[in-house]
Structure formats: C-alpha cells, structure tokens
A and B are shown apart, each in its own frame.
Chain A
C-alpha cells in the first residue's frame, strides 16, 4: 500500500461530499517510465476509497486513439475527468504537496465548487480565446497547490481553458525548455508566463495578452 491507514481514513471522509462521478484516466508506458507503475497503483488505491471514483488505464504507445482524445504527450499522466472532460491533467506521480492538488482536483471536477466571483465566472465562461496553462510545481513546494488550483478551476469553468500540472522534478527537460527556475511557474499558451501563485484575474489578463 502506498497510502497508509490514516491517510486512507482522511480521504474517505473527504470524498463524502463528492457529487458527480470522477474518472481518473491514466496513461503509462511499459519501459522507461520510472513512476508509471506507482502512479497507477496510487490512483487505484484512491479509487478504492470512494464509489464515485474509477480508474481507466491506457498505454501511451499502444492506445493511440485515447492518447489523441485526451491530448497526452508524456507519462505518467492523469486526466481527472468528471461528467465531461474539463481538460484537467496532472503530469508526474503526485507526491508531497502535489498530492494536495490531486485531491483538490478530484473535488473540483466532482463538485464544480470554485472560489471565483460571479464576475470572474461570467468572464471565464465568455472567454473567446483558447488557453493552455502549464503549471510547473514541485512536491516540496507549499506555495504550489494554490497556483495549480486556480488554473484547474479556470479549466473547470471554461471550455476554452486546458490546465496541466507538471512536476518539474519528474520532467526536468520540460522545465528547462520553459526556463523554469522557480516554482510555481505557469506557462500560458507557450508564449507568456506567470511566476508565483496569483489570483485568476492576473492569469486571465495574460491569456488576453498572449498570442494564440
């Protein structure tokens, strides 16, 4: 067991107020993926704790159709899917503070509860431009869940926003490609970025300014 008895107990309690069913769609790879096996095990253990959570497993090489459907390009990957696919992804096995973000994502997808004001919600729903948010985080970073949660909430509200949480320690090449030298670091539509955890309006402004 990856999760100890105490954490399992707390999670069961936490999952009590889930509403919609949640599907954790995970992507693995046979060889050459250090944490794919553990990621799958972790998600299965989580699904065991609530009747509302299930797991589907695909292989990034063998299951082309699913890979395209969910837009997956690296492993381990987890799509947190609710009544529909809101575009919420976690790349890397979520440990440490990234685990907080996983649990919050499950909750978010299932309940739709966000901290946004009515005005922010309205704005997000009316967003014309597509936005791809890539939030680089690390397991030892207590400031990171706040950044991930804002980006994921934006994806939950707006069909135009996709949000990836990426563990910079499991994807160092990608982190260095985007010149990530501190986390949280959110890459917006490939062209601009936001450092630190900031409220949604700051990200929205950057989406509007970004190309794409």
Chain B
C-alpha cells in the first residue's frame, strides 16, 4: 500500500561534547557503522548533508539482492528501517554538510554549517554520486530531460520514448523499472556485451519495448526544441539520431572524497583502507562506496560499516 518515509527530523544532540564516533554520511554504510557504534555504547553522531538519509540507496526502485529481504523492497523503505534501527541505539543525527576536516590531532575536528564537531574517531561513509556522461547538452538539460534517478522521474515519461545509457547492473535494473512507464526504450551501451549479471541481462532481454544499441556512444543531447527532442548516437561508428523525450544515465559513480584529498591516501579518488577499514590516519576509518574496492553494493557497504565501527571501538579501548 502506501509508504510513509519519516526522515530523522532535527538533531537534538548537544554538539559541544566530544563524540566517541562521528560518522560522515547517512547511506547504508554510515547507518550500519552508526548502529554498530551505538551497540558498542559509544557516543555516536551521524552527519548527513541531505534532509533525508539513505544516500544512493534511497534512489533504488527495487532491491532484490540484499540477503534476508526475499520480497523486493524500495531503497527508501530499507533506508527508513536502517535509520530507525540506528536511532534506537541512541545514535544522534545531524543534517548538514561536512565542509572541511582537521585530522592532525587526537581529537578530530569537522566543520559543518551547524558548528564545529569534535570526535575521538571518525568513520567516513560519504559514498558517491552518479557520474555524468560528459557530453554536449547534458548539463544544460539536467532535469529537463536528462535524469540520473528512475524513482524520482520515471513517472514523468509515461507512454514516452526514452534512452537509457549504461551496461552494468544498475543501468539494466533501472531500465526494467522505467519500462513500466515508457512506451519505448533505447538501451545504449558502449561495449559488445553488458557488464551486468546474466540474471539481470535476461530480465531486460525479456522486455519487448527495449531496443538494444551495443557498441554505441552518445555524442550529443539536444532537448532545446519541444517538437524536436533528440540525441546523437554513434553506433558502430555510424551516426544515428534518436528522437527521445528523455535520457536516463547510469554510467558509474563519482566518489565524494574532495575534502579528504589533502590528508588521506586516495586511489582514483577512492579512500584506501586496510582490511579493518583503517585509513592512513589513526582513528580515521572509511566504509562503503567511498572505499577503494571492487564490489560496491548495499551488502558490502553495511559489512564495511560494521567492521569500521568495531575497529573504532577497538582503537578507543586501546
């Protein structure tokens, strides 16, 4: 039936205290880390820049690969459950962006619009955001036909023709979601084969309204004229114009690591950690999509979060 998301409301935490653990980011990695830290009876604050928690997970239409949830649920639902589980462990949530950090001393400092936050340990779970295609017309038409979120915008393309770009699990899963609205979908992928798992590939192939364009790259997006919205695509070296009302882009992610570049060791923008989620700075840990690793999923983010909280607790006890 209906789903009612609550969000965490305003923080009632006294931010003048020194926290045992401050978690930056309220996606699944951060919510898991905070919940575990709470269970270790550590004074824990989670800082999330958006009005609601959930991170990228909040935009997933249907989650089918999270163990224990046999019936698919929406990302917003799972985010709500994770958040209330953390809050039950007395985790405080502050909504605001961490704009800079100082990890030089034993007590770490984080700047937010709500004030300076101090912590004995920090767990970084700032995750990532969708990567842009970086083609002409993309920026200009963002939210005017260019979208990175099927749960947000899919219904606006009822009985319309759209393009989806990408070949991984996310792109193909979201294409299936979008096929519930659109009358026709061009699925554009730059390689011969999709990267997505066979199970998901088979699911998309079963939907007749999806036309596959392999070895294809988008060259230009032009939605300036209401009566002539189109994109230019190069398919196997040949230029094609596709008349579409919108384009959904799922071509990977961009890490949120800008504020850590000066102090933490990064690899391709992702934070390098050891097996216990420790970074090159003592007392600073990282978990979830922001880590340099191979598999970025909810299941791995929550696993990282649990390990990071354990490591933080161990560091504090030593």
Contacts and interface: CB of A to CB of B under 8 A. Distances in A.
B4 A2 contact: yes
A54 interface: no
Interface of A: 2-3, 6-7, 10-11, 14, 38, 93, 95-97, 99-100, 103-104, 107, 113, 138-146, 149, 168-169, 172, 175, 179-183, 185, 195-196
B9 A14 contact: yes
B297 interface: no
Contacts of A172: 155-156, 158
A146 B51 contact: yes
A142 B6 contact: no
B6 A168 contact: no
Given A181-B144, A196-B143, A141 B9 contact: no
B4 A95 contact: yes
B246 A181 contact: yes
Contacts of A183: 143, 152-153, 156
Interface in B1-25: 1-7, 9-10
Given A138-B155, A146-B50, A195-B143, A10 B6 contact: yes
B149 interface: yes
A146 B3 CA distance: 19
Nearest to A180: B156
19 contacts: A2-B1, A2-B4, A3-B4, A6-B84, A96-B5, A99-B5, A103-B7, A104-B7, A113-B10, A139-B3, A140-B61, A140-B154, A142-B50, A143-B50, A168-B155, A168-B156, A169-B155, A195-B142, A196-B143
Interface residues of B, number: 37
A173 B2 CA distance: 22
Contacts, number: 110
B6 A100 contact: yes
Contacts of A149: 51
B89 to A, nearest CB: 15
A103 B6 contact: yes
A141 B7 contact: no
A60 to B, nearest CB: 22
B233 interface: no
